[in-house]
Amino acid sequence: MLTVDFDRLGLRPGERVLDLGCGAGRHAFEMYRRGADVIAFDQDPDELAGVRELFAAMRDAGEVPEGAEADVKEGDALALPFADGEFDRVVAAEILEHIPDDLGALAELVRVTRPGGTVALTVPRWFPELVNWKLSREYHEVPGGHIRIYTDAELIAKAERAGLVLTGRDYAHGLHSPYWWIKCAVGVTNDDHPLATAYHRLLVWEIMKQPRVLRWAGRVLDPLIGKSLVLYFRRPESQRPDAG
């Protein structure tokens, strides 16, 4: 289940890309399939071990173009172990809401993006996320959980302050917001509740089969209650001395 549109990001085969806070690797895998030179970055060694294994399986199965490369790297988003301007494209999907120093993470993200390169930032959208917080403390008051709710304007302003230029905006996963509202209402760990179970089956059907009726429903719901805010940015070819 992808949140980022890689055509809007401008991804092309052979480019060097960073999946910052890759988690289980969903975006890293798709960029690898598209022929990019991918670095999947995270602070969780267990997640990275799984990503590394799947990268190898994709290579063995012939699922990636000739010459494409992929690797994992463990570290801290506030001190990225990469050179200035090393990456053509950077994805940071559902990570900034977890980081206390989000401005520091944005500064590092911009630093490793080449001038003229592009960035995709995704975070939980304000209204669906606010409903989750109102319904359940358990949803966000956990170690490593969500520590803030972004408005569109706030995240755009912070990214622009870091030196990026907004090029596009989207909302994704409209069908997923009601699922999390149900989970927060009945208990986020209560996977056996009939409502949560039934809605989960619907989402699995959406992801696995992509039926036309749910694709249509998603197009209607995404701009209304899409769970994720997706912003696309470009790092200018040149910046004022006080930018960044």
Domain regions of the chain by residue span? 6-125+143-172+225-234
6-59 pLDDT, tens digit each:
999 999 999 999 999 999 999 999 999 999 999 999 999 999 999 999 999 999
148-176 pLDDT, tens digit each:
999 999 999 999 999 999 999 999 999 99
Q: How confident is the model at residue 242 (pLDDT cuts 50, 70, 90)?
A: very low
**Percent with pLDDT over 90 in the chain:** 94
pLDDT of residue 144: 87
What fold does the segment set 6-125+143-172+225-234 form as a domain?
A: Rossmann fold (3.40.50)
Residue 52 structure tokens: 């590394």
pLDDT of residue 238: 76
pLDDT mean across residues, the chain:
95
pLDDT of residue 87: 98
95-128 pLDDT, tens digit each:
999 999 999 999 999 999 999 999 999 999 999 9
